[in-house]
Amino acid sequence: MSESRLKGWKELPIGGLILEAGNSEEYNTGSWRAFRPVLHPEICTHDLMCWLYCPDAAILVEEGKMMGFDLKHCKGCGLCAKVCPHKPSAITMVEEGEAEQAGK
Amino acid sequence: MGTIVAYSGNQAIAEAMRQINPDVCAAYPITPQTELMQQFASFVADGLVDTELVTVESEHSAMSACVGASAAGGRVMTATSAQGMALMWEIMYCASGLRLPVIMTIVNRALNAPLNIHGDHSDSMGARDSGWIQIYSENAQEAYDNIIQAVRIGEEASVRLPVAVCYDGFIISHSIERMEILEDEEIKGFVGPYQNKFHPLLDVEHPVTYGPVDLQDYYTEHKRQQVEAMQNALPLILRVAEEYKKLSSRGYGYFETYRLEDAEIGMFILNSAAGTAKEVVDELRASGIRAGLLKLRIFRPFPYLEIAAALKHLKVLAIMDRSESFGAMGGPIFNEVRSALLGLEKPPLTFNYIYGLGGREPSLAEIHKVFARGKEVVATGKVEVLHDYLQVRD
């Protein structure tokens, strides 16, 4: 799904059919989010418990390191913040509006 | 070349289904549809068709199996009546919304309660917004001709909509009439193989998703497409009728007019009672009264421009409904026809009669009463009661 322009009724396949397999990646489920996860890299030890538990595969990992969040698909469930073994957690949930204002 | 036979409406449809030879038929028995499907089931048992007959446990399942089989890429037919159609309700919207050209016979019957098994139009009229094309038939011949044309109309690529062919329970479904059936090869050639498949599920090389969630961002566009498909059906219905006429010598349009061209008082009616009303028109004409009739064939899509053009010269039009729309301004046909006429510079005066509920048969004398009322309205120029009951005891 393109953010800039959604297809009109003359362009879409009829019947609500989706003709491409593996298309859920295109759906911006991040727009459903009320709380946004924010990473505190100074606490994170890259144990990847968040990656293991995330139901939306929205934890970005490169070469075994926790690199942040796929915010197009993160629905903001907060599971990552909860399962982080650190006290305090290396991930906190911030209200989406506040996070946007803070430019996080 | 056809064969003249003595068939009931249900036999005529079973015979048409044998000739169409659909891939799948899923159905559940309900009066007065039962003997149609019983007859077709015997064709299946005797190996006269290749159809996979799915004997399901309810009409909800019947329509669900039809939707699945149609999405898989099959040509699919079924039949029902009244309570059965009511139980299909949810899935009827899935058939149209998923753009699956399921072809269904609705043997019109009153809806319970109170319990009644006889013919009126409350079943199919209630489903007028379900996104199905609706074709109405006066007799067994028309039902047979309509179901064959329905296959071609529903499956056309620009349409792809389910089609319901309706006729009156018992009075048509169980009465035996003289009619003509065409040769098996002629029907086979006319309907042809099912070609306009749209991403069938059984095409496993090209996987697609049927029925995903469709929210605020797309649902409106998909509904708009359905509106377009209904519009596309209008010219197609005439083209298919023209082609069918070459085969059968029987012509069909959106409606039939009977002595309407120079009429002063008209009647708007559909299905079996139109036959009775034509008789009354002849009697009135013999006594010098300029009576005429319009019998509707295509209710969805509603050909409102053509209807208005055909009725514009009338002084008075009696609009007949064989179902009620409780709390509305008259019956469903009245509402739509009256709306269609409002675009005219000088529309005829209209009034609505509810008749024939639960199979109460409109006699010649009852239809005469309607025209007598029409004469009064011509004389006074006034419609005192807009929505009235033709056949009710005080």
Give the pLDDT score at A32: 93
The answer to whether B97 contacts A21, with C-beta atoms less than 8 Å apart, is no
A28-77 pLDDT, tens digit per residue, is 899 999 999 999 999 999 999 999 999 999 999 999 999 999 999 999 99
Q: Which residue out of B221, B223, B230 would a mutagenesis test of the A interface target, given it has the greatest number of A Cβ atoms within 10 Å?
A: B221
Task: Give, in words, the CATH class of A14-102.
Answer: alpha beta
The answer to whether B225 contacts A6, with C-beta atoms less than 8 Å apart, is no
Across B118-127, B193-202, B224-233, least confident range = B193-202
Give the pLDDT score at A21: 83
Residue A39, amino acid: L
B34-61 pLDDT, tens digit per residue, is 999 999 999 999 999 999 999 999 999 9
The answer to whether B99 contacts A9, with C-beta atoms less than 8 Å apart, is no
Give the pLDDT score at A22: 82
Question: Residue by residue, what is the 3-state secondary structure of chain B?
Answer: CCEEEEEEHHHHHHHHHHHHCCCEEEECCCCCCHHHHHHHHHHHHCCCCCCEEEECCCHHHHHHHHHHHHHHCCCEEEEECHHHHHHHHHHHHHHHHCCCCCEEEEEECCCCCCCCCCCCCHHHHHCCCCCCEEEECCCHHHHHHHHHHHHHHHHCCCCCCCEEEEEECCCCCCCEEEEEECCHHHHHHHHCCCCCCCCCCCCCCCCCECCCCCCCCCHHHHHHHHHHHHHHHHHHHHHHHHHHHHHHCCCCCCEEEECCCCCCEEEEEECCHHHHHHHHHHHHHHCCCCEEEEEECEEECCCHHHHHHHHCCCCEEEEEECCCCCCCCCCHHHHHHHHHHCCCCCCCEEEEEECCHHHCCCCHHHHHHHHHHHHHHHHHCCCCCCEEECCCCC
The answer, for A4 touching chain B at a CB cutoff of 8 Å, is no
Collect all residues of chain A within an 8 Å Cβ-Cβ radius of residue B70: none
B137-163 pLDDT, tens digit per residue, is 999 999 999 999 999 999 999 999 999
Of A8, A17, A19, the CB nearest to B221: A8
Give the pLDDT score at A27: 85
Cα separation, A33 vs A29, in Å, equals 8
Q: Give the pLDDT mean for A73-82.
A: 97
Give the pLDDT score at A101: 85
Q: How does residue B264 score in pLDDT terms, banded at 50, 70 and 90?
A: very high
Which domains does chain B possess?
3-248 (3.40.50.970), 255-389 (3.40.50.920)
The answer to whether A17 contacts B199, with C-beta atoms less than 8 Å apart, is yes
Flag whether pLDDT at B246 surpasses 60.
yes
Collect all residues of chain B within an 8 Å Cβ-Cβ radius of residue A23: 209
Q: Give the pLDDT mean for B248-265.
A: 98
Across A98-102, B71-75, B299-303, B344-348, least confident range = A98-102
The answer to whether B209 contacts A18, with C-beta atoms less than 8 Å apart, is yes
Residue B349: how many CB atoms within 10 A of its CB? 18
Q: How does residue A4 score in pLDDT terms, banded at 50, 70 and 90?
A: low
Give the pLDDT score at B197: 84
Q: How does residue A2 score in pLDDT terms, banded at 50, 70 and 90?
A: very low
Percent of chain B with pLDDT over 90: 98
Q: How does residue A104 score in pLDDT terms, banded at 50, 70 and 90?
A: low
**Would you kindly state where each structural domain of chain A is located, as residue ranges?**
14-102
B205-216 pLDDT, tens digit per residue, is 999 999 999 999
B174-184 pLDDT, tens digit per residue, is 999 999 999 99
Give the pLDDT score at A1: 45
The answer to whether A14 contacts B212, with C-beta atoms less than 8 Å apart, is no
Minimal Cα distance from B158: which residue of A? A14
The answer to whether B100 contacts A7, with C-beta atoms less than 8 Å apart, is no
Task: Work out the mean pLDDT of chain B and round it to a whole number.
Answer: 97
Q: What part of A 15-74 touches B (C-beta under 8 Å)?
A: 15-19, 21, 23
Measured over the CA atoms of residue B119, residue B123, residue B129 and residue B131, the dihedral's sign is negative
